[in-house]
Amino acid sequence: MFLFGVGCILFNFNIQTKKLNLSLEELELLQKTIKDVNVRLLIMYNQLPAIIYNIEFLPEPRTSYISPKMEDITGYGINFFYENPDFFKDIVIPEDQHKIPELYAGHSPIILRMIHANGSLIWTEHYVNVSFDILGIEKRIDVVALDITKSKKTEISLLQEKNLNTTVFDNAANLILLTDANGLIESINSAAQTILGMRKTEVIGKYIQDVILLPEDREYLKDVLDDVNEIQNIAESLILRCVTNSNQILFLEWRLGIIRDNRNEPLKIIWIGIDQTSKRAAEIELKELNKSLEEKVKARTKELQSSNFELNSALYALREAQQKLIQNEKMVSLGQLVSGLAHEINNPIGMIKSSVETLVSEWEEERIHDASIRINELIQSILDTDSGGLRILTGLSNRQARKSLRESFQQHSVPFEEELAELFVDSGIRNLSHPMITKIKSVIRNKEDFQTLRRLLLVKQSSEHILYSVRRLSKITYTLKNFAGLQSNLELTDYLLTDTIHTAISLYKEYFLRDINLVLNLEYSGNVRCIQGDLVQLWSQIIWNSIQAVASKGTIQIRSFKRSDTVFVEIEDSGVGIPQDNHAKIFMPFFSTKTTGDGLGLGLYLVKEIANRHNANVDFESTPGRTIFKVGFPLTT
């Protein structure tokens, strides 16, 4: 029995030994598996773009693992982090140091700004997992950190751009509104609030057509919004009449820009408004002035027809002036004077004679036609819409204008389209609106109507030729009178300097209303001792030279100012300049660089003589593209 018991014990012992050996083998296999997993995890950690690190707190803080990505992102070697468990205090900027305890406590995500080894700033975002021991004491943190520097810089850049756009939007001088594709107002800038007299709260959430537009313009804007897809860019514009809070009507030119979504569908509309009220008022005033132009031309024509006696008297006065000019040193120049004078006077007189004969002939013939009144009204309507009046075009501009008008007439089936295009362009009329073309079609219905139109246009052109020629005669007469010294017996009196300048400018008003830009800066507004007429002649001679120098296209600046006891007037132009070889000759009598018949060469001589008579000094500077005449008057108490 005893042996049986011992045998059982040995048998059980062998069984337990075999089980123990099996458990040891399983344990070794499990340990090998865990080791393989750890190796694979380590390899994976090292390949991740993020930083993986572990910090052990027990028994003492130490870095137990940190991935190589930390070195790539921060520029510090791995040993720096292993040897310095409290490395955050060395590389995190002072402003973010207070976040380190939060990181250790397991708060996440935590954004820390660090200083790279090269001194640059980097942004990192840390996600933390905390492990505790069986007593609940924090023993380790496992952290995944991402480099978010690029996204942060992009975020900052976008914020700055947003602030810039907001600043530009709020401080722009023009009105700016932002609406959805249907015109619902979403934002409005300060300029719009000021000009319209409305606050943001009064307009946001309302449709633009309901808030500021006249009822007559609302349907037009509705059509624009219905076809918003056709608006291509911000350069396209439309004129709308708007009403302010004070019931003032403004003419605003709106330029529209479309913001589209990723399907190219309209999402937002940017409205940029430019106040054109003053410009529109000036255009209306100009149209009213043009309406009276025909009557003025007719009245002036009658004056010219009855002025033969006055012209003969003027010619006699000119001959008397010539006799006074014949002095010892001027005898040689007399031939030039007579030749130039004859050409200057004969040409305008010939033009007047021819134009008057044409006017009389065409007018007498035209009066018998019943259609003349409606055709004359048609001409006036065309001129009312073209502030430039009748002009002459040549060369390429002429051909292009004819082609454009001919095509417009063809589109509207206007008869005599070729002849009408040639007639209008030769008369200087290039721009005709669709309603005007329709009106032409209704008025010019046969060859007789066309001939009537041609004759009436010829009458108007001839009238303008008469006016131009008379002006030339007046200037020549006035120049010769001054050269003869007809006002030399007058005494100097106190007179407002600016009045003499404005009087001279008014003589050439037609040039400044077209292509010449006149800039006035008259600082001195007091009197000077002068002979008023002489001073007007002095300014007009210099201004006329400047007009000729810029060839009717450029800038003329007139300035007045006081320095010490002298008043200066400067007249500057952007013309071709005076050649250096002529600088010493320009004040000599009868010296002129113009062709025969285009000047006597007395203008600047008179300027010098008038300046001497006023104890004034006249000088000039000239280079290509810039000429300045400077006149200085002494002030007397």
Q: Where are the domains of the chain?
A: 46-149, 172-275, 291-474, 487-634
Residue bearing tokens 């975020």? 155
Interaxial angle between packed helices 334-366 and 308-325, expressed in degrees from 0 to 180 and rounded to the nearest 10:
170
Name the amino acid, one letter, at 506. S
398/424 Cα distance (integer angstroms) = 10
Alpha-carbon Rg for the chain in angstroms: 46
Torsion sign, CA atoms 153, 156, 159, 160: negative
Strands 626-634 and 266-275: unpaired
Query: In the sheet that 51-56 helps form, which strands lie side by side, from edge to edge?
Result: 62-66, 51-56, 138-147, 121-132, 110-115
Task: Answer for the pair 223, 229: CB distance below 8 angstroms, yes or no.
Answer: no
Q: Check residue 357 and give its pLDDT.
A: 61
Query: Can you read off the two tokens belonging to residue 616?
Result: 């004034």
Q: Which residues pair with 254 in a beta bridge?
A: 238, 273
Residues 201-210 have pLDDT tens digits of 888 888 877 7
Note if the pTM is more than 0.85: no
Q: Please list the alpha-helical segments (H only) found in 306-446.
A: 308-325, 334-366, 372-384, 395-411, 417-426, 434-443
Q: Check residue 397 and give its pLDDT.
A: 59
Three-state secondary structure call for residue 586: coil
347/473 Cα distance (integer angstroms) = 10
Assign domain 172-275 to a CATH class: alpha beta
Torsion sign, CA atoms 63, 66, 70, 72: positive
Instruction: State how far the alpha carbon of 172 is from the alpha carbons of 162, 168, 193, 390, in Å.
Output: 15, 6, 12, 40
Residues 6+ apart with CB under 8 A from 274: 174, 175, 252, 253, 254, 255
Q: How far is CA 441 from the centre of its chain?
A: 38
491/530 Cα distance (integer angstroms) = 8
107/631 Cα distance (integer angstroms) = 83
Long-range contacts of 207-211 (CB under 8 A, 24+ apart): 207/182, 207/183, 208/177, 208/179, 208/183, 208/184, 208/271, 209/183, 211/185
295/300 Cα distance (integer angstroms) = 8
Same topology for domains 172-275 and 487-634, yes or no? no
Strands 554-563 and 516-522: parallel
Residues 571-607 have pLDDT tens digits of 999 988 888 888 877 877 776 766 544 556 677 888 8
Low-confidence ranges of the chain (pLDDT < 70): 1-14, 16-48, 228-236, 306, 308-309, 311-312, 314-315, 317-372, 383-398, 461-489, 513-514, 552, 591, 593-601, 637
366/372 Cα distance (integer angstroms) = 7
Task: Answer for the pair 519, 556: CB distance below 8 angstroms, yes or no.
Answer: yes
Name the amino acid, one letter, at 165. N
Give the CATH architecture of domain 46-149. Answer: 2-Layer Sandwich (3.30)
Name the amino acid, one letter, at 254. W
Q: Check residue 172 and give its pLDDT.
A: 79
Exposure class string for 227-262: b at 16+ Cβ within 10 A, else e: eeeebeeeeeeeebbbbeeeeeebbbbbbbebeeee
Phi, psi for residue 309 in degrees, rounded to 5: -65, -40
CATH number for the domain running over 487-634: 3.30.565.10
635/614 Cα distance (integer angstroms) = 11
Q: Check residue 294 and give its pLDDT.
A: 72
Q: Check residue 567 and give its pLDDT.
A: 94
